[in-house]
Amino acid sequence: MAVKKKAAGSKPKATAKAAPMAKPKAKAAAASKGKSAAASEAAMMAQWQEAMTPSAGHARLMPMVGTWKATTTFRMAPGEPEQVHGGTSIHRLVLGGRYVEQSYKGMSMGMPFEGIGFTGYDNVKKRYVGTWMDTFGTGVMHSVGVGRPTDDRIDFVCEAIEPSGKTKVFDAIIRIKNHEHHSYEMWTKGPNGKSYRVMLVEYERA
């Protein structure tokens, strides 16, 4: 019987190898990695939830919400006579209670005056924050809470740019007497380096 010869140069057929079985350690590592990623995502979501949820810091601002009769006492420089003007101010909660929006209308230095401001509490920084804009300028005053706030007093440091281009720093105080009365005052340093009160706004619920 004739025996068939293999063609010259032909290679034997490769035998398919079975895929290697995953090692138990590799499976455990993959599962652990998956759990770690899920835990990290859950932790991140918890941080976001805490940062975005109105807190006790926001509750402290609630007595200032409403419609108010405002009396403003103001002076340009130490030693100058104080000017007193009346106005109305509407304070309402915005963005789900995260900020108090203030809309003020009145007179100042013999001219109509309007201002809009926002005050809130930054859960991450653990500080009160605020902004203010009015018809006596085109810039924005920024405020940051300092010290340890209480239910009847919140302190701020405020920065604004004067028409000269210089930065002016003020110390501001919110005093909450009760649900019917609160006030806002601003202090700064005069040319002699001594602090003087620039403004006092007294609010009485309308």
- For 66-108, write each residue's pLDDT tens digit: 999 999 999 989 989 999 999 999 999 999 999 999 999 999 9
Cα 185 to Cα 13, 84, 102, 198, distances in angstroms: 93, 14, 15, 8
Give whole-number Cα distances, 137 to 48, 134, 152, 166, 196, in Å.
36, 6, 30, 14, 22
> Which three-class secondary structure state does DSSP give residue 204?
strand
DSSP count for the chain of H helices, then E strands: 2, 10
Chain mean pLDDT for the chain: 89
Confidence of residue 21 (pLDDT cuts 50, 70, 90): low
Please provide the size of the chain in residues: 206
57-205 is classed in which CATH architecture?
Beta Barrel (2.40)
Using alpha carbons only, give the angle 182, 73, 170 rounded to the nearest 5 degrees: 80
pLDDT tens column, 119-132 = 999 999 999 999 99
Listed by start position, the domains of the chain span 57-205
